Structures are given as C-alpha cells and as structure tokens.
Amino acid sequence: MNKALIAYYSWSGHTAALAKRLQAQTHADLYEIKAPADTFSADMYETSDIAKAQLKADQLPPLADQLPDLSKYATILVGGPVWSGAPSTPVLSFLTAIPDDDVRLAPFYTDAGTPGDYEAVFKRAAGQHSVTAGLGLPGSKVATAQTQIQQWLNQL
C-alpha cells in the first residue's frame, strides 16, 4: 500500500481496536479523530440524541486536534462507529475537513447491530474523493475478524 493514514474516531473502543489492528498490518500512520471532551455523553442514548441534534442543526462538532498533513497520503482509511445507520458526527467533521487533494478514502466501521446506510452516507460526505468499498464489523467481532480484515486490506 502506498503511503497511507488511518484516521479513526472511537466512542466505545471497538473502532480504536480495529484501527490498531489495521495499523499493525499496514504500518500506516495513525491519527485519532477527537471531538472536544465535553461534546458527547458517556451514555450511548444521550450521545445519540446529541449527534441527531448536531445533524438536524447542520452543526457538526469541531475537531479537537489539528489535522496531520493529509497531502502526504495517497490513501486514508477512515474509521468510526455507526450512529443511527450513518457515520458518527466526528467522522463527518473529518470528511468535510479533507482538502480537495486527490486522495482515496477507504471506510471502516464498527456497529452494534446494523450498519444501516453507513457507506452511502460516507460516500456522500466524502464529496469528490474516490471511496473504496468499506469494511464493517460488529464491534464484538473485531478481535476475531483476522480473515475479513486481511481480505479487505488485500482489495485496497
């Protein structure tokens, strides 16, 4: 794989675990997408309500840290949890912050039941960027998904 970045947001730790497994296999650079500390609740249902309100108001959360120099990367693997069948709002914030450089995006995500329209919403949010087929896993299956992870990486 050409120079790659793995950028991920993780609310519960499942997506972080998947990102670190991907990083161990690719040796890509790693960047954690963070929202300001007081943005979301520790309660899943309150967090869902906050995210829905952000989307309704068309006000995505700011990113807490400066982006790395994205021009160094040909491919960015972008990961996050599925929230209400779509990418989490911090992932959407990251996607809107990517410059218009020619970069390929590869979504990966963890869910607690169903991925919903995650990849379609991701692709719309990515705008003009090329988007590959994604890797979606139930959060509880990340530790045992070696074959799926390797197959997805081979496709990239």
- The pLDDT value given to residue 101: 76
* Helices vs. strands in the chain: H and E counts, helices first: 5, 7
pLDDT > 60? residue 1:
no
Contact 96, 60 (CB under 8 A): yes
Average pLDDT rounded to a whole number, residues 38-64: 94
Contact 121, 86 (CB under 8 A): yes
Q: What proportion of the chain, given as a percentage, has pLDDT over 70?
A: 99
Residue ranges of domains in the chain, CATH in brackets: 4-155 (3.40.50.360)
Residue 44, beta-bridge partner list? none
For residue 2, what pLDDT band results from cuts at 50, 70 and 90? Answer: low
pTM for this prediction: 0.94
